[in-house]
Amino acid sequence: MSHRCAIPFCVHPAKDGQLMCWPHWRRVPRALNKAIFATCGSDPAAYGENVAEAVRIVQEKEEADACS
């Protein structure tokens, strides 16, 4: 089973249990990565905020790459 990566416009599938495809997921800072797992299923509000933050950080990194 797989689903779409959480990053908008990303066409890659993400593995079950992972929020994003591997290239995007590995860009998420470790602390945030842990926070996402810690709140997944237990604290939907915090989980949603963590996911939004992770998506924002990854998109910022992608944009920085595009300019270099």
Binding site for Zn ion (CB under 5 A): 5, 7, 10, 12, 20-21, 24
Least Å from the CB of residue 63 to Zn ion: 14
Contact 52, 6 (CB under 8 A): no
Nearer of residues 15 and 43 to Zn ion, judged by Cβ: 15
Separation of alpha carbons 34 and 32, rounded Å: 5
CA 11, 17, 61, 48 torsion-angle sign: positive
CB of 28 to Zn ion, least distance (A): 11
Residue closer to Zn ion by CB (options 4, 34) is 4
